[in-house]
Amino acid sequence: MSDNLDSGARTDSLRRRATYASVAVASTLIVAKLGAYLLTESVSILSSLIDSTTDMMASLVTLLAVREALRPADANHRYGHGKAEALAALAQAAFIAGSAVLLSVEAVRRIVRPEPIAEGTIGIAVMLLSIVLTAGLITFQRRVQVATGSVAIGADRLHYAGDLLMNSAVIAAILLTEATGLAIVDPLFGIGIALFLLNGARGVARDALDVLMDRELGQEERDRIAALARAEPGVRGLHDLRTRNAGTGCFIELHLELDGTLTLTEAHEIADRVERRLRDAFVNAEVLVHQEPAGLADDRLDNRIAG
């Protein structure tokens, strides 16, 4: 049990550190890109500046949401506060979509009234700095997401991963504009980046809604849960397995079929061992096991779902 508590504390610490790192990187890039835009007046750099600004707002929302999500269950929230992460992911999707709209408007304006890029070398230098910092951040966020399963940090990582492509596109836009002399290249790249951002926002919103709508865990995970439960000696079968992602962990509920001649104490001990197996396999999982005699004919969720 103490190992589970230690593991939970480590994952909570990783979540917090990932949010602090995200805010720090976004702050640094906003300052650098603002200076680059003022010198170059490049729409592509402006697109990256807008994205970094929304990154900062999204990262701040994520920081606050993770802090809220890590609060323990209380009298009014007996399932905990984990869904705060999914709400933060939805806010991120809104920020990303909004930045894409603003970028599209500016890009269209520049297509109608083209303007040359100045100080292209400075713009490229800032984008290279952005690539290095962003690559380091998403590497760390990836490790945190794998360790914790955090939806909010996963959403944060996705749009920072998109920043890598965006920054590379900005460099390409500056180089092509300087090589061809065509001012329209820069805003066209801006529109392409806006479309990429909109697609990313759609994916982030979909994942957040899966959590808020209590979507089941994947079939592979459900099969693993069933196999772990059936592996416990004394278990005859199981049914009505229900799961959901809670943002900071998951909930697992199932009906365990046992020998009807067992005493209540014996049945309870078997159920306890099944719960320990599942908590050991799924970090921060809340497990609820209902015991009943094998072969009992009762109203089952499985049957209702099957029609």
201-249 per-position pLDDT tens digit:
888 888 888 888 989 999 999 999 999 999 999 999 999 999 998 777 7
Which of 179, 195, 213 terminates a domain? The answer is: 213
User: In this structure, are 188 and 228 located in the same domain?
Assistant: no
Query: Last residue of a domain, which of 213, 235, 261?
Result: 213
pLDDT at 262: 95
pTM of the model as a whole: 0.68
Q: What is the tens place of the pLDDT at every residue in 243-285?
A: 998 777 789 999 999 999 999 999 999 999 999 999 999 877 8
- For residues 261 and 224, membership in a common domain is answered with yes
Q: Which domain holds residue 238?
A: 219-306
Model pLDDT, residue 3: 52
If asked whether residues 200 and 81 sit together in one domain, one would say yes
Residue 207: predicted pLDDT: 83
Give yes or no: residues 156 and 294 share one domain.
Answer: no
Give the separation between CA 222 and CA 243, rounded to whole angstroms.
8
Tokens matching residue 186: 């820069």
Could you tell me if 11 and 81 lie in one domain? yes
Q: At what angle do helices 185-212 and 84-112 cross, to 10 degrees?
A: 160
Longest dimension (CA), the chain: 86
167 and 199 inside one domain: yes
Which 3 state secondary structure label does DSSP give 3?
helix
Q: Is the pLDDT of residue 191 over 60?
A: yes
Higher pLDDT, 132 or 45: 132
CATH number of the domain encompassing residue 250: 3.30.70.1350
Q: From CA 228, how far away is CA 80, in angstroms rounded?
A: 25
Q: What is the CATH number of the domain that holds 4?
A: 1.20.1510.10
